[in-house]
Structure 1
Amino acid sequence: MRLLFLHPDLGIGGAERLVVDAAIALQNRGHTVSFLTNHHDPTHCFEETRNGSLRVRVVGDWLPRSIFGKFYAFCAYFRMVYAAFYVVLFQSKEEPVDVIFCDLISLGIPILKLTHRSPKILFYCHFPDQLLTKPGGILKTIYRMPLNYLEEKTTGAADGVLVNSKFTSRVFSETFKSLNVTPDVLYPSLVTKSFDNTEVLSNDIHDNAIVLLSINRYERKKNLPLALKSFKLLERIVTKHEWDRLHLVIAGGYDSLNTENREHYEELLVIMENLGLKDKVTFERSPSDEVKVKLLHQCKLLYYTPTNEHFGIVPLEAMYMKRPVIAVSSGGPTETIVDEQTGFLCEAEPEDFANAAARIIKNPKLGEKMGEMGRKRVEQRFSFEAFTEKLDQIVQSLVDKKSK
């Protein structure tokens, strides 16, 4: 089959990792896949979209991302509508497709229905967009009302809807009450070859360090200050010898064009300074895949700080690398992490995270045992093979319905 992936910004993040993995999975099954996106920066993207493994075409990048620093959602929606019209008017005639896989923004779905040969539309809902926006005043409420309405109606126009967890499935049903749609749960997975085949680089922190690692985008909703504050509390819990060896690495996606990324990075630097942790913390902005694997190899545990995270691929990456995960007990991590077995599920409080981390620091064998169990859980429940098989069946089912 021929599939087109339509994604707003093909950068670095959980959503981008999923669509890249989905494209690789279907390409491995013999299907022809390509990407159409509004933005793709070769210096800020996953390797597969840069090295020619996946074909990528960029349209509409000249359109504004905001209007005087406002109206980000409107501009993102408009850019995606532009891309959808491009598919209808040009792409579909040059390269007819059987299935269009789109995610994040649903507004283009009714337009895509006009595409030559009427391909099936598969929409992956990482999370309802209207729930990702911060509350505001009456003007913002009025601004969001038509966008929220359009999101619900256009999502319902897809031929199939996928979500990333049972948690997101429940939120989907509670949010889009007018839709008679039961989405399929397709858990994100890992392309484990990228972990197995990556050479572990030398340690550039210091050989005797006990590294605690946090991996998340530089966004306020990821609650990265929780990692800093809980790390500081360890000074009172562990021995002086242990504290002297501890080092925290905060790594994650960072886009210099993103205002929040820039502002939040500066905020984290201030928090670090105020906590007196300048020599105990390293920030890694947009680390390469090789650097990320190195960090996962070096660390003793992973901090995962977001609350109500939709799924969270990073805990799976850490578990596959045999590292215990300390995460907030809500959202997707409750479906991936087994409390007290592959890590700890905690309240989003510095004390709880610090106490959990101290248990692993003081008892290295506990961390090793949790790491082994985490690796087995990923291989049994979240393998790339299972992900590939289910996605291929879903796509094939859509095409079969079309032929009937």
Structure 2
Amino acid sequence: MGKVVFIHPDLGIGGAERAVVDAALALKSRGHQVEFVTSHHDPGHSFQETKDGTLKVTVVGDWLPRQLFGRFFAACAYLRMIYAAVYLVFFSGIRFDVVFCDQISACIPVLKLSPAKVIFYCHFPDMLLTQRRSFWKRVYRAPIDYLEEKTTGMADCILVNSKFTASVFSETFKSLRHVTPEVLYPIPDFSSFDKPTESVTPELLPSQVGTVFLSINRYERKKNIQLAIHALSALLEQKPDADVHLIIAGGYDTRVEENVQYHAELVSLAKQLGLENRVTFLRSLSDEQKRTLLKHSSCLLYTPEREHFGIVPIEAMYMQCPVIAMRSGGPLETVADGSTGFLCNNDPREVAQAMLKFVEDPALGKLFGKAGRSRVKTMFSFITFTDKLDTIVHDLITGG
């Protein structure tokens, strides 16, 4: 067995963080020694395994700025990760065989100064996540984009989270077209989802509502959460007497200006549409609260377009909660249209039509829920995920 160090920029509670935590737990279950080095870790805003001693976490360089004058977020993130890599290689005293790096590849040249093998997990090319509307933004991003492509290619093993991301990887990194990244779906350990759920409280889930729709995403504009609110409004236009409620829940960090702004925008939108009594906003859920919501909701609305993979639909299906998602990206690989949920275009009225099916036929939700659970167990097993990742790490260590 080997020693694997995970190096990650901000160990919060997003999908990328859940993916690396699950990867660490998978390797630990196979006897590998694992620990994290990160630039930021707030115990009040992180997954349980990173704060209860299950996984050792070392924070390095949190004093470095996250931005300068409200700008240069990417440059600061690169600097923080490079600093963490320098610490790991030259000053930590940690012996390691493999480094599992994700999100930011700029630190890989430093990691390659050690004898360890480097795995880079590409959730999605970073250069595609930022708009370049001005000349100066293009000038600023040009060296960062170049560095991302060149340093990504230096990894000993490149993993991606879906076939969709693999295709985008090849289209984006033109100098790396000779590289075929390995697809490793980021599947969680569902044993935690079998634990008892919390008691339902009015603050968490409205009582005596016929159909409860649920949206779980970080409060970021790219998550397209406003679609869920517009779809609810369209549903009520078609069926004014529908006994429905929408819960919008997700990651929220007061340090992230977009989280604060977008949450306020969504609250304002609900009021403008006269839905303030039909929409509940929750921020920074615990794992127990998320399980409770998934168990007692009628359907999950998953609104991001071209989502790289999307772990929430997998979690929902495991909890026997049907899914309505966009007809693009990861959900094309995870949601069986017409069997475990519905795939729709980014159109409130089309989404509303899918929602209406669960309002008018409650038995459909139970039927789709059972099919979803079966699909996850068959196609997205944590054991399969663990086997594949363990084999990759073993081959890197042994030279296989």
The TM-score with structure 2 as length reference comes to: 0.97
- Measure, in 1, the Cα distance between the counterparts of 2:144 and 2:292: 42
Shift of 1:193: 1.2
Letter in 2 for 1:109: I
Q: 1:138 aligns with which of 130, 135, 160?
A: 135
Query: Does 2:376 correspond to 1:375?
Result: no
Query: Does 2:164 correspond to 1:156?
Result: no
Letter in 1 for 2:32: H
Q: CA RMSD in A?
A: 1.0
Give structure 2 stretches of 5+ with no counterpart.
Answer: none
Query: Does 2:169 correspond to 1:172?
Result: yes
Deviations 1:351-399 (A, max 9, x none): 0110000011111111111111100010011111111001001111111
- Partner residue, 2:112: 113
- Measure, in 2, the Cα distance between the counterparts of 1:350 and 1:105: 35
Deviations 1:321-343 (A, max 9, x none): 11110000000000000110110
Contact 1:214 1:303 in 2 (8 A): yes
Deviations 1:254-313 (A, max 9, x none): 111001101111111110110111111111101100111111111000000000000000
Q: Sequence identity of aligned pairs in percent?
A: 55
- Partner residue, 1:61: 62
Query: Does 2:105 correspond to 1:102?
Result: no
Deviating 4+ runs (over 6 angstroms): none
Letter in 1 for 2:247: V
Give structure 1 stretches of 5+ with no counterpart.
Answer: none
Deviates more, 1:206-215 or 1:219-228: 206-215
Contact 1:190 1:382 in 2 (8 A): no
- Partner residue, 1:80: 81
- Measure, in 2, the Cα distance between the counterparts of 1:78 and 1:181: 27
Letter in 2 for 1:120: K
Shift of 1:232: 1.1
Query: Does 2:342 correspond to 1:344?
Result: yes
Where 2:9 maps in the other structure, the secondary structure is strand
Query: Does 2:124 correspond to 1:123?
Result: no
Where 2:45 maps in the other structure, the secondary structure is coil
Aligned length: 395
Letter in 1 for 2:208: N
- Measure, in 1, the Cα distance between the counterparts of 2:145 and 2:287: 35
In the TM superposition, what are the counterparts of 1:5-84 in structure 2 within 5 Å? 5-84=6-85
Deviations 1:48-102 (A, max 9, x none): 00111100000010000000000100000011011111111112xx221000000
Contact 2:219 2:252 in 1 (8 A): yes
- Measure, in 1, the Cα distance between the counterparts of 2:256 and 2:250: 14
- Measure, in 2, the Cα distance between the counterparts of 1:211 and 1:201: 17
Shift of 1:236: 2.2
Where 2:298 maps in the other structure, the secondary structure is strand
Letter in 2 for 1:321: M
Letter in 2 for 1:191: D
Deviates more, 1:207-216 or 1:140-149: 207-216
Deviations 1:136-171 (A, max 9, x none): 211000100000000000000000000000000000
Shift of 1:239: 5.6
- Partner residue, 2:397: 399
Letter in 2 for 1:126: H
Shift of 1:36: 0.3
Contact 1:200 1:297 in 2 (8 A): no
Q: 1:278 aligns with which of 267, 272, 276?
A: 276
Where 1:247 maps in the other structure, the secondary structure is strand
